[in-house]
Amino acid sequence: MYPKKWMFVLLALITLTSGYLYMQPDNPVAGKITLQGLNFHTDLQPALLEASSQGKPVFVYFRSEYCGWCKKFEEETFTNRSVARTLNENFILVSIDVNKQKNETRDFRVRGTPAEVFLDPKGTEIKRIPGYTETEVFLDTINQIAKYKEA
């Protein structure tokens, strides 16, 4: 009688554990997310520390899983080789999910997605782009900001 009971308990634990493992995010690195091959922090503070130590500006990308314009921006802009190279070489990247990170969204006064905010290494805002931006316009913007060097 006892072996059947323990078998049931073991089976229930395996089922519950497999459900938990299935629900885990695709990206196993905590505090990071990959969008179209670009690696983003998901927390601003570590990104600012990295930006300060490297003297690079920070690109903060506000997005939502359900935002059609965000998906269009990511698919068209983040896959552009020049954009990807410029972002990887010259910026510290942060992605904020407006539905999950409401405090950050409120602190930055972001009202819609997508939204892009550029910060200097100390966290001071350099530029803000509300809404969707065409790839070439975005590339021109990041090339201008990439020239920024902390005095």
Is residue 70 situated within a structural domain?
yes
Return phi, psi of residue 43, to 5°: -130, 130
* CB 75, CB 36: distance < 8 Å: yes
Is residue 18 situated within a structural domain?
no
The fraction of the chain above a pLDDT of 90, given in percent, is 73
- Nearest CA to 124 out of 108, 113, 112, 103 is that of 108
Question: β-strand 115-119 against 125-130: which pairing, if any?
Answer: antiparallel
Of 5-9, 76-80, 127-131, the poorest mean pLDDT is in 5-9
Of 22-26, 108-112, 114-118, the poorest mean pLDDT is in 22-26
Residue with tokens 């510290």: 92
For residue 114 the two structure tokens come to 């997508």
Is residue 14 situated within a structural domain?
no
Is residue 20 situated within a structural domain?
no
Is residue 33 situated within a structural domain?
yes
Query: Higher pLDDT residue, 6 or 92?
Result: 92
Residue 22 has a pLDDT of: 35
Is residue 104 situated within a structural domain?
yes
DSSP string spanning 85-106?
Answer: HHHHHH-EEEEEETTT-HHHHH
Q: What single DSSP character describes residue 94?
A: E
112, pLDDT greater than 70: yes
The whole-number average pLDDT for the span 89-93 is: 96
> Residue 1 — very low, low, confident or very high, per pLDDT cuts 50/70/90?
low
The reported pTM is 0.77
Q: Domain of residue 72: give its range.
A: 27-146
pLDDT (tens digit per residue) in 16-54:
444 433 333 344 456 888 899 899 999 999 999 999 999
Is residue 4 situated within a structural domain?
no
Beta strands in the chain (DSSP E): 32-35, 38-41, 58-63, 92-97, 115-119, 125-130
The fraction of the chain above a pLDDT of 70, given in percent, is 77
Residue positions counted in the chain: 151
> Within its chain, how far is the Cα of 3 from the centroid?
49
Q: What single DSSP character describes residue 77?
A: T
Residue 31 has a pLDDT of: 87
Is residue 151 situated within a structural domain?
no
User: What counts of helices (H) and strands (E) characterise the chain?
Assistant: 6, 6
pLDDT (tens digit per residue) in 54-82:
999 999 999 999 999 999 999 999 999 99
Judged by DSSP in three states, 109 sits in coil
For residue 27 the two structure tokens come to 């990206």
CATH number at residue 135: 3.40.30.10
Domain count, the chain: 1
